[in-house]
Amino acid sequence: MKPLVVITGASSGIGEELAKHFSEAGHALLLIARRLEKLEALNLPNTMCKRVDVTDYAEFEAAVKEAEEKYGPVDCLINNAGLMQLGQFADQDPKEWINMYDVNVKGLMYGMKTVVNGMMDRKHGTIFNISSVAGKKMFPNHSVYCGTKFAVHAMSEAVREEVSSHNIRVITIAPGAVETELLGHTTDDEIISGYEDWKKAIGGALKPEDVANSIMFAYNQPQNVCLREIVLTATGQQ
């Protein structure tokens, strides 16, 4: 069995696909999300499934500890859980801003904190932080989502600077549009239909496996090779 990989947001989309890829490659897994039934339905071997809200540090830390007791130390964390609620800044309910900040920023910091000390002690590890093209450029209706994803880029690179001498890779993944459940959390119907039209106009979005393949490629590089950032989009996306 290959070392333990922790994947947050593994109940759908990119995280679900990552779980299948890493399991296929022979890794033990800790899968995290709130919809436990969807994690369990994947029915993967050597896998612990935990209902964890990533905005709760104690829950997150306890799940990692339990998985390490069973499968050994975490070698790879994929901070993938995320929330996108698009909206015009002037109209949007501030609760949506806080929801996105909590999951995309706080949850990601918590994830790194649960594993980084162990990785530093062992002088080995890889952390993937899933950002977005929206963490590199601005789009209308994305003000707070962009803010959270710019924060992901900033935190990832800053942490990488601190831990690189301990043989830990921190890799930021910035996908363009991917066909998943993500848009379903936006509450403005006009914005949803505009986004769907835009995806058609660019010739369609990426599939979750496109992102999973890039992450597997980066993980499988020798440990002394750190692909610090991967930006991938559908070819037709501007």
Point out which residues bind ligand NDP (CB under 6 A). Answer: 8-9, 11-15, 33-35, 53-55, 80-84, 103, 130, 132, 175, 177-178, 180-182
Q: What minimum distance in Å lies between the beta carbon of 103 and ligand NDP?
A: 5
Question: By C-beta, is 166 or 188 nearer to ligand NDP?
Answer: 188
Cβ–Cβ under 8 Å, residues 78 and 6: yes
Cα 10 to Cα 78: distance, rounded to the nearest angstrom: 10
Q: What minimum distance in Å lies between the beta carbon of 124 and ligand NDP?
A: 25
Cβ–Cβ under 8 Å, residues 178 and 204: no
| DSSP 8-state class, residue 178 | B
Q: What minimum distance in Å lies between the beta carbon of 118 and ligand NDP?
A: 21
Active-site residue, selected from the candidate residues 101, 110, 145, 219: 145
Measure Cα distances from 23 to 4, 60, 134, 143, 172 in Å: 10, 21, 29, 36, 22
Total count of residues recorded for the chain: 238
Q: What are phi and psi of 42, to 5 degrees?
A: -70, -30
Q: Which residue has the tokens 């890493």?
A: 22
Q: What is the CA radius of gyration of the chain?
A: 17
Question: By C-beta, is 1 or 201 nearer to ligand NDP?
Answer: 201
Q: What is the dihedral of CA 84, 43, 114, 109, to 10 degrees?
A: -10
Cβ–Cβ under 8 Å, residues 88 and 19: no
Q: What minimum distance in Å lies between the beta carbon of 10 and ligand NDP?
A: 6
**Residue 57 designated active-site:** no
Q: What minimum distance in Å lies between the beta carbon of 8 and ligand NDP?
A: 6
The residues that are catalytic are 145
